[in-house]
Each structure stands twice: as structure tokens, then as C-alpha cells.
Amino acid sequence: MIEFRRNHNLQPLNTLALPAKAEYYCRINHCEQLQLAVDFATERGLPITVLGGGSNVVFAGNIAGLVIHIGLDGIELHAQQDDQVQVDVAAGENWHQLVEHALEKGWYGLENLSLIPGLAGAAPIQNIGAYGVELKDIFHSLQAFDIASGKEVTLSARDCEFGYRDSIFKRQLKDQLIITRLRLNLSTRPNLRLDYPALRDAISALPESVALTPAVVAETVCRVRRSKLPQPSETPNAGSFFKNPVVSARKAEELRKLFPGIVCYPHGEQEQKLAAGWLVEQCGWRGKQVGNVGVHHKQALVLVNNGGTGEELLTLAEQISESVKNRFGVKLEIEPRVYR
Ligand code: FAD
Ligand code: NAP
């Protein structure tokens, strides 16, 4: 059985708490229901929008067509050889609960990605990353439902063309597949990744008596994140609103001469990644409120909603982008998916 609802309220289903309704909505708990949902949309000529945890979307108004909300669950050990494990994760599993579950099982590799909101199925869309680790580092493959053919397809890491907060699902395969399952390569042998400065500093500050384990790394990541980032349940937000812009080494050098304090990191051999939060902060936006939306007081990269609309938020984002462009000549790109 699959229940299709009309004019379904999406406000509780997006972490920005933006007001929006789905023309039609259904929740999918079994892969077999996907074909039924797609048939429902095709018969009525409705566009399809896939929704996970709603933590990386901006709803600028109501969503026409059918919103398919992913509720697929299950985490299973697929294979084990020596200290390597392959773990299958259904797309509807909560990402952070997966990290916790993996730690309990002694499957390591996800620690740095603790506390990222949302569901597993969305993780490949922007190749989620934090504290020096990206999904691609532990990704084996995924299974997906091809909306046009109704067939199940398998994509390897190479097929997904992962990049910096990017993948093929934002480009050639945009809106074509519904991801149903991930297969991850984890290890029963801890391999701590502590090279990211904010994490390294927090770990160094721990008492010497604390043994360094994957669980301690995960706890530390959670503690640092909680101290810097607003919880969406208290302050509606979608995490970083802008991607860190990647510019040529030459452009970065020019900027460094003009703005000696600029924060940038090597990105491959020819490019540099600028900290978007620093650019936004320098333009005076941190902590600013504009009507019912604003910029978080601790983190200039996080836009917050205090009862406003998606359009208000996007207007603020445009103003921010314009000021960054005028001052630094750098174009900011919005990270979450905008639906307008
Ligand atoms: P949604 O917001 O529901 O969807 C995002 C996009 O993915 C949509 O286009 C949707 O159509 C598509 N999609 C979702 N599920 C599927 C599926 N099964 N098949 C096909 N398409 C699908 N991101 C990071 O990378 N690193 C961070 O550290 C990080 N921190 C965050 C902190 C906060 C406080 C918040 C609010 C967000 C943060 N994010 C971060 C962004 C966000 O959590 C991730 O991008 C997450 O993967 C989104 O998952 P979701 O299930 O909420 O996706
Ligand atoms: P931070 O530690 O204050 O650093 C600011 C920015 O500088 C980050 O965006 C990070 O890029 C970059 N950076 C710092 N040290 C780096 C290094 N050694 N090499 C390369 N890049 C470096 O960042 P923060 O805001 O507290 O976030 C901490 C981590 O959580 C970051 O990895 C960030 O991406 C992630 N996060 C992501 C979101 C989201 O919605 N996408 C939201 C919150 C936090 P990277 O972003 O490339 O790491």
C-alpha cells in the first residue's frame, strides 16, 4: 500500500523550516513502491522531487508534482575480508545514526562525518564532507532506481564522478535516479584522520589519560560541531549556504596581495579553495538580520530562518553574493538545492 496525500505540508520536513506544500506527497518504505509512485506521477504528468531529511534544500514556494519521501531502512554487513568490511546502507537511514551504529559494530571510517544531518541516500549527491574526510573516501558503490526505465542500476565510485561537494547527480544525472542503497568500505582497524586543523587542535586539548579511539574522535567532532553550528531544531538552517569557491592559484595570489588575511587552502595543484565564511564575514554580514531571515552570529556561512520564506532567504543570499563579488571579484555558489 502506498498513500498519496495532496497539499502535504513540507515545513516540518526541511531543516530551514521554510513554508511549502507538496502538490502530492508519498513516503516510500519499500523499494517495490518506487515503481508505483513513479507510475502515479507519470499517469498525471507530474514532475518528481525526491526528499530525504530536507537538510540541504531551499523551498522558495510550493512544490508542484509528486514529492517522494525516502523511508527505506536497513544496515547490513555485506562482506568481510581480513580487516575490511563492506556495509550496505538503505537510503532512508539517518546519517548520524549510521555513524553511531558503525562505531558500535567496530566498523571504522565514518568518525569525521559525525553529526551531519540528513539521510544516507543524499550523501552521494554532494559527496558530503567534513573535517578532512569525504564520502568518496569510504564509498564503494550505490544502487538506484532509474525513473525513466524503472530499472535498478548500480554505480561505482568512478561512475559517480565525485568532486568537491559535487557529483554526477548534480549534473548529467540530476533528477534521473532515486538512490536506494549505498555500499561503504569500512575497516575494523582504526585509521584516525586527524589532519584537519580544528579537529587536531580539539584532540590535542584532551587530557593525556584519554585513549585516542574512533569513538573519541567522533565525540570530539560532535562537540566541536555543537559549539560552532546552530542546531536546526532550535535555529532553522541548512548548514553552509555557500560552497567554498575554488579559484586559480593566480587569482588566489592576487587576492592575497590585496587582502593579506584571506583564508585559502590548496585545492589540487593549480587551484586554491577560499573560505566562503571569511569572505562573507569580511563584508559585514555575520550576525545580521534582514526581516525574518539572517546570518548566524557565530558562522557567517550559515543563513538562518526566523519565520521567513524561501524567497526572503534567497534575496538575502543574492545580497550577500553581490557584496562578495563587488569586494573580492569572487562568485559564490549556493550549496543547497533550490526549488523555486
Ligand atoms: P535533502 O535535503 O532531503 O536532499 C538534498 C538533495 O538530494 C535534493 O536535491 C534531493 O532531491 C536529493 N536526494 C535526497 N535523497 C535522495 C535519494 N535517495 N535519491 C536521489 N536524490 C536524493 N553537508 C556536508 O557535506 N558536510 C557537513 O558537514 C554538513 N553539515 C551540515 C550541518 C547542518 C546543521 C545542516 C543543516 C546541513 C549540513 N550539511 C552538511 C548539508 C546536508 O546535511 C547534507 O547535504 C545531507 O547529505 C543532506 O541530506 P538530506 O537527506 O537532508 O537531503
Ligand atoms: P572551519 O574549520 O572553520 O574551516 C573553515 C573552512 O576552511 C572550511 O569550510 C574548510 O573547508 C576550510 N578548511 C579549514 N582547514 C582546512 C584545511 N586544512 N584544508 C582544507 N580546507 C580547510 O569550518 P567549519 O565551518 O567549522 O566546518 C567544519 C567542517 O564541517 C568543514 O569540513 C565543513 O565543510 C563541514 N561543515 C559543512 C557544512 C555544510 O553544510 N556543507 C556545514 C557545517 C560544517 P571544507 O569545508 O572544504 O572542509
Its pTM stands at: 0.98
Find all residues with CB under 8 Å of 273, minimum gap 6, and list them.
Answer: 164, 244, 245, 246, 264, 265, 266, 267
Q: Is the Cβ atom of 198 under 6 angstroms away from ligand 2?
A: yes
Catalytic residue among 27, 114, 141, 165: 165
Catalytic residue at 335?
Answer: yes
164 backbone dihedrals φ, ψ, rounded to 5°: -75, 110
pLDDT at 12 exceeding the cut of 90: yes
Give the pLDDT confidence of 210-265 residue by residue, as tens digits: 999 999 999 999 999 999 999 999 999 999 999 999 999 999 999 999 999 999 99
Note the ligand closest to the C-alpha atom of 237.
1
**pLDDT in the model for residue 1:** 86
- Residue 334 alpha carbon to ligand 2 centre in Å: 15
| Closest Cα to atom 2 of ligand 2 | 198
- State the closest ligand 2 atom to the C-alpha of 198, by its place in the atom list counted from 1: 2
Q: Are the C-beta atoms of 270 and 248 separated by less than 8 Å?
A: yes
Catalytic residue at 149?
Answer: no
Q: Are the C-beta atoms of 288 and 295 separated by less than 8 Å?
A: yes
Find all residues with CB under 8 Å of 55, minimum gap 6, and list them.
Answer: 14, 15, 117, 118, 122, 232, 238, 239
Give the pLDDT confidence of 15-49 residue by residue, as tens digits: 999 999 999 999 999 999 999 999 999 999 999 99
Longest dimension (CA), the chain: 64
Give the pLDDT confidence of 95-120 residue by residue, as tens digits: 999 999 999 999 999 999 999 999 99
Could you give the CA distance from residue 135 to residue 99 in angstroms, rounded to a whole number?
12
Measured in whole angstroms, the distance separating CA 212 from the mean position of its chain's CA atoms is: 27
